[in-house]
Chain A
Amino acid sequence: EAGVTQFPSHSVIEKGQTVTLRCDPISGHDNLYWYRRVMGKEIKFLLHFVKESKQDESGMPNNRFLAERTGGTYSTLKVQPAELEDSGVYFCASTLLGGMNTGELFFGEGSRLTVL
């Protein structure tokens, strides 16, 4: 069975440009999370989808970030326009169960974003 897949693995863009990251969760996993790790810091929560609905987007840094999950399958995270401080590794994770019975989070390999 395929795990969580993310694309691209690495993106280098200039400040002011737009980047779209994609995540394909494990088939059947309703819960999809986006996290970000800036160099040397914690893996920081961005948002949580349950199917196509945003359950919690309290971690989104600002309105330059837009996440979607149309149809409740794959998700995209768009950064527009990108700033230097957006550089980091963006992880997607999925899990079958949510709420109090949340099980293991299955992570993708991450998309490394470098903004120059």
Chain B
Amino acid sequence: GENVEQHPSTLSVQEGDSAVIKCTYSDSASNYFPWYKQELGKRPQLIIDIRSNVGEKKDQRIAVTLNKTAKHFSLHITETQPEDSAVYFCAARYIQGAQKLVFGQGTRLTINP
């Protein structure tokens, strides 16, 4: 079925350290994997995405890796800063039938000063 598992549900790191959030998906035909960040009281916003024809994408301090064989993808944030504190959602686009994004459960990331 349509399922995206995301871990961990909460993550606390010291400012300046790295944070890694992992997701697995079930549909091998999925071809698009975005990550959304939701700050407290605000709307989810896209921060980075990756398509299935590449294995890694980087944008400044954030990077996403994709392993199609294992059906998992990860978000990496380096040199974390207090403003990185938020809930992060991974998603996968499911191709079966009408296409839609299926989201993971979210990870609450807290950056400790």
Given A107-B43, A108-B43, A110-B43, check contact A45 B101 (CB 8 Å): yes
**Across-interface contacts of A105 in B (CB, < 8 A):** 34, 36, 46, 101
How far is it, in angstroms, between the C-alpha of A46 and the C-alpha of B7 when the chains are bound? 23
How far is it, in angstroms, between the C-alpha of A100 and the C-alpha of B51 when the chains are bound? 11
How far is it, in angstroms, between the C-alpha of A98 and the C-alpha of B101 when the chains are bound? 11
Interface of B is mostly: strand
CB-based A-B contact count at 8 angstroms: 63
Q: Chain A 13-52, CB within 8 Å of chain B: the 1/0 string?
A: 0000000000000000000010101001111110010000
Nearest CB of chain B from residue A29's CB, rounded to whole Å: 15
Nearest CB of chain A from residue B98's CB, rounded to whole Å: 4
**Across-interface contacts of B104 in A (CB, < 8 A):** 42
Given A42-B4, A43-B89, check contact A56 B43 (CB 8 Å): no
**Across-interface contacts of B4 in A (CB, < 8 A):** 42
- Is B100's CB under 8 angstroms from A48's CB? yes
How far is it, in angstroms, between the C-alpha of A98 and the C-alpha of B32 when the chains are bound? 13
How far is it, in angstroms, between the C-alpha of A85 and the C-alpha of B3 when the chains are bound? 21
- Is A109's CB under 8 angstroms from B100's CB? no
Q: How many residues of A contact B (CB 8 A)?
A: 26
**Across-interface contacts of B34 in A (CB, < 8 A):** 104-105
Given A91-B44, A104-B34, check contact A45 B102 (CB 8 Å): yes
Q: Chain A 43-77, CB within 8 Å of chain B: the 1/0 string?
A: 11100100000011010000000000000000000
Nearest CB of chain A from residue B77's CB, rounded to whole Å: 20
- Is A45's CB under 8 angstroms from B43's CB? no
Q: Which residue of B lies closest to A54 (CB)?
A: B98
- Is B106's CB under 8 angstroms from A43's CB? yes
Given A33-B100, A56-B98, A108-B43, check contact A40 B32 (CB 8 Å): no
In the complex, whether B113 has a CB less than 8 A from a CB of chain A is no
**Across-interface contacts of B99 in A (CB, < 8 A):** 98-100, 102
Q: Which chain B residues have a beta carbon within 8 Å of chain A's beta carbons?
A: 4, 6, 9, 31-32, 34, 36, 41-46, 49, 89, 91, 93, 97-106
Q: List 15 A-B contacts (CB under 8 A).
A: A3-B43, A4-B43, A41-B106, A42-B4, A42-B103, A43-B89, A43-B106, A55-B98, A100-B99, A102-B32, A104-B34, A107-B36, A107-B44, A108-B43, A109-B42
